[in-house]
Amino acid sequence: MKHIRSIIFFSICLIGLSACQKDEQDHEEAVKYVVTSPLRLDTTIVHDYVCQIHAIQHIELRAMERGYLEKILVDEGKVVKKGQLMFQIMPTIYEADFRKAEAEAKAAEIEYLNTKSLADKNVVSKNELAIVKAKYDRAKAEMGLAEAHLNFTKIKAPFTGIMDRLHVRVGSLLEEGEMLTSLSDNSQMWVYFNVPEAQYLTYKQHTPQDSTITVQLRMANNQIFPQKGIMNTIEGDFNNETGNIAFRATFPNPSGLLRHGETGNILMTEPLKNVLLIPQKATYEVLEKIFVYVVDAKNVVRSREVKIKAELPHVYAVEGVAEGERVLIEGLRKVRENQIIEYTFIPPTKVLPTLELEAE
């Protein structure tokens, strides 16, 4: 009797399992998947690099002579003109040294002229005249040196620029070489950014020599700087620790918006010619490799590895699929390898414009 009951129970389980499998198969057959094909076209990709912004000229102004700071004739953050007097060091001692050197030079000149007059009359020898002439030249040199020291007490702007904060105050005893302030010429800005080796090679291989490459600057507030920059310099060596090389772009700064020391992002556009584009959602990753599901002529799903050439918003430029092949874009987690499916085909020209809307 127990044996009969076991047989009946097992039969009921088999019937139930068969019914479940049949329901599952009917459900799978009822699902219609969505596929598209790669789209071949010319497009562009924008590379984003963190950058440092520098004034085309940025220098430290330091005292050339020791002395008390007598006057400060400029203010922090103001524009100063080339040649404008900025600082005055008390010149009393240097004026006295100059007057002394000037008087000695005048005396040496008189002695030289008198000796020359006598030499012309053959009263003194030419050697004696040469000695007096050398004394006169030395006195003039010392006067010029004293004048230079006196002029160093007047610190003038070497170029037109914006003055930074003051490091000293009136009455400070300055030592030779002591920093007073810094000065920035912001009429143009040098923007430095680091490029990985692979992208550097691509840039060099696809950019004609002496061509003009323009870039854009996204500022720290995420706004695009209105002026475009010219990419004009590449450093000579790679950084062995990072594998990067530094590029430099020059931006005009007519409004003075950019200041020395700011940061931002350089946006460099790279053209992509004749590439195949597929939606990013059509891909999946296994062990750091990227795959897609390709549907063959018999509606069989087969996985295939693809190589990513470039990443655009919601789209990949890839290698590994052909232009007319059908790629699954929905239900990737529901299908199995070698499964036969029913699908609806949507042309890529209709799929790609909707990707951004779906992301939102």
For 203-223, what is each residue's pLDDT tens digit? Answer: 887 777 777 889 999 999 999
State the pLDDT at residue 295: 92
Per-residue pLDDT band for 124 (boundaries 50, 70, 90) equals confident
What is the CATH number for 143? 1.10.287.470
Helix, strand, coil % in the chain, rounded to nearest 5: 30, 40, 30
* Same domain for 140 and 100: yes
- Residue 318 pLDDT greater than 50, yes or no: yes
pLDDT per residue over 321-336, tens digit each? 988 899 999 888 888 9
* Same domain for 264 and 198: yes
Most confident region among 197-201, 247-251, 342-346 by mean pLDDT: 247-251
* Same domain for 264 and 190: yes
80-89, 129-138, 309-318: least confident range: 309-318
Q: How many domains does the chain have?
A: 3
Could you list the beta-strand ranges (E) of the chain: 32-36, 39-62, 67-72, 79-80, 85-89, 154-156, 161-163, 173-174, 179-196, 213-219, 229-234, 244-252, 263-279, 283-286, 289-295, 301-312, 315-319, 326-328, 342-345
Asked if 327 and 315 count as a contact pair (C-beta separation under 8 A), the reply is: no
| Whole-angstrom distance, CA of residue 200 vs CA of residue 73 | 48
Residue 159 one-letter amino acid: F
State the pLDDT at residue 5: 52
* Same domain for 299 and 243: no
HSE at residue 194, side-chain half, CA atoms within 13 A, is 11
* Same domain for 294 and 260: no
| Whole-angstrom distance, CA of residue 331 vs CA of residue 341 | 11
- Residue 122 pLDDT greater than 80, yes or no: yes
Largest CA-CA distance found in the chain, in angstroms, rounded: 159
Q: Encoding tokens for residue 40?
A: 């071949």
The mean pLDDT of 292-310, rounded to a whole number, is 91
In the chain, the percentage of residues whose pLDDT exceeds 90 is: 56
Q: Of residues 161 and 271, which shows the higher confidence score?
A: 161
Per-residue pLDDT band for 358 (boundaries 50, 70, 90) equals low
State the pLDDT at residue 360: 46
Residue 305 CB neighbours (<10 A): 10
- Whether residue 212 lies inside any domain: the answer is yes
* Same domain for 246 and 102: no
* Same domain for 218 and 143: no
What is the span of the domain harbouring residue 353?
A: 31-42+274-359
- Whether residue 85 lies inside any domain: the answer is no
Domain-terminating residue out of 227, 243, 273: 273
95-99, 153-157, 267-271: least confident range: 267-271
What is the CATH number for 210? 2.40.30.170
Per-residue pLDDT band for 90 (boundaries 50, 70, 90) equals very high
pLDDT per residue over 183-192, tens digit each? 999 999 999 9
φ/ψ of 138, rounded to 5, equals -65, -40
83-92, 98-107, 244-253, 308-317: least confident range: 308-317
Q: Encoding tokens for residue 111?
A: 């002695």
Spell out the residues 6+ positions from residue 216 whose beta carbon is closer than 8 angstroms to its own: 224, 225, 228, 229, 266, 267
Could you list the beta-strand ranges (E) of 212-262: 213-219, 229-234, 244-252
Residue 30 CB neighbours (<10 A): 8
- Residue 311 pLDDT greater than 70, yes or no: yes
β partners of residue 264: 51, 219
**CA-based nearest residue to 306, from 295, 294, 325, 321:** 321
Site of tokens 């790629």: 327
Residue 80 one-letter amino acid: V
Dihedral angle sign, alpha carbons of residues 63, 66, 72, 75? positive
φ/ψ of 20, rounded to 5, equals -65, -45
- Residue 152 pLDDT greater than 90, yes or no: yes
β partners of residue 155: 87
| Whole-angstrom distance, CA of residue 187 vs CA of residue 251 | 9
- Whether residue 314 lies inside any domain: the answer is yes
Per-residue pLDDT band for 22 (boundaries 50, 70, 90) equals very low
Site of tokens 């691509």: 202
Q: Of residues 28 and 287, which shows the higher confidence score?
A: 287
State the pLDDT at residue 241: 85
Site of tokens 């920059």: 229
pTM: 0.70
State the pLDDT at residue 111: 92
State the pLDDT at residue 30: 55
Give CA angle at 64 (58, 66), nearest 5°: 135
What is the CATH number for 293? 2.40.420.20
45-49, 134-138, 207-211: least confident range: 207-211
| Whole-angstrom distance, CA of residue 215 vs CA of residue 234 | 14
- Whether residue 162 lies inside any domain: the answer is no
Instruction: Indicate the helix (H) or strand (E) that contains 126.
Output: helix 126-151
Domain-terminating residue out of 214, 240, 273: 273
* Same domain for 190 and 51: yes
Rg (C-alpha) for the chain, rounded Å, is 40
| Whole-angstrom distance, CA of residue 302 vs CA of residue 327 | 10
* Same domain for 236 and 197: yes
In a 3-state reduction of DSSP, which class is residue 173?
A: strand
φ/ψ of 304, rounded to 5, equals -150, 135
Per-residue pLDDT band for 200 (boundaries 50, 70, 90) equals confident
- Residue 24 pLDDT greater than 50, yes or no: no
* Same domain for 248 and 302: no
The mean pLDDT of 131-135, rounded to a whole number, is 93
